[in-house]
Structure 1
């Protein structure tokens, strides 16, 4: 690889916590690697690029991000190469850098140059390579994020920002097929809002209705449009796809629709399906169409796509108090084929003929 050019200062931890981790039992998002990457935006430019020991931030009580919500983030994963244990593979990180900047633009935040994102990520993973698990179903989850850093209670975009990358070894997000409830009372976002951006506030607003659904025995929600609650959009942790007979149906994302997050996993799945000759329709999905297809058996399967879940099969759909079970189909499921292919690429077992894999 070409030599990295940015001046990134590195301060190594005095004591690694790696030997305290049980990689056969990793809870999602609770264990963090030894180091983090930081950069500050002030005086109109990004500066002070550094890797330091993972630790707490010191925050002013008037921090703008706390009061007015200028906070965005990304999620991606690093995998141990099964063919070469010394190599780490990251899935489509440049796309995460681009999506971070799309979110930044919507939230009136400065864009981050791609080379800062990529070189900071590279050096951080290179330093903490030992934290990338090699146990079945595991990976190193990578969380880049940016927040407003002004200490000011006036309502305006901040003049200063902090960008950071932290990492966390994780296991499987959903170990079983998920039960989802079609949400028709609350809304995640609306036309003209921030639905297409990975904004912290989107997730805060989703927690209460998700909690109500979990009390009813569901794992997640299927969000519907805010205007009429007649069309399925996405789930809380993933985009969704439905196989109706021989066609995959999924809701459109930007630029056609601005209410749904443009999942990088979803984009990858759609490209693979095109290569395989599978018929795909990106269009509005009426709730009633999915209910009818479930009842008459034409819904062959439903599944979620996302970084955390990769591919998550859906087993049940709740609608207006009725629990609909998706019938099992004979033979190999399309979602299984997709998952095996994607994970094979991510772990170096399937040839990357797409240029999706970044190697460290």
Structure 2
């Protein structure tokens, strides 16, 4: 295998290094809690009232700044005389490209959803509430998916490590299950809103978000593929998942394949959305998303290194086994549920 003709990827996954910041005086932790409570309850006091049935505008900038600064000072004053746990420094911090891509995923998905909500005559406040559901469900679902789908024995022996999302380990299939549950709960608690209607307006944002997240995996040199002689094979020199010898072998950039897949899925969904003049039959986008994305995922998994150790040597890996039910559900929705 000739390595000289392949791209060597040794990009630093750290976006920027922020050194430790030492505060001039220690800051009371309980004072910060009091300040947060004062801001929460004070915000409604400085917010202008709604007029003519329109949503209330946000408070003016100087009022908001005054509330935040005043709440901080008031929160700290009692603890000049009362003992309290304090913090005297902050950092150092190392924001990563993956974190930036994760934020871009939610931002881009939000703006796509906002366009679709406005097309349907829905308010931004409804979408904001849905966003909270989706963010929480994505993080919890992705983490639990990694725990139970890929390394259950280890985490069941070390339950205290499950909440430590920052140590790595998120599964997209788990995130998909979490988002489906979140959409169901949101639809039940929102008047005149069905699950399928919500799902149709969430999945385009999920597709574009998936593009950014998989690009973040590329920066982290993770979810890499099997060795390949193809000219676009990449040598991942900074991968934490390979031995020194394995790092010098060109591999499929499987995360980039999935990123491109998400772009294709988004294009297909948008064509359907525009064909029906922004009012597609309920379930059409959701069913199409499940079939196209997870069929693509099933095929791309053939290029990936096996992530679940207990499936090494098996005909199919965990990603493929988890993709099949999503494809079948999508086919059922398109066939039985969508009123074409």
Task: Calculate the TM-score normalised by the size of structure 1.
Answer: 0.24
Task: Calculate the TM-score normalised by the size of structure 2.
Answer: 0.25
Greater per-residue strand proportion: 1
Greater per-residue helix proportion: 2
Higher alpha-carbon Rg: 2
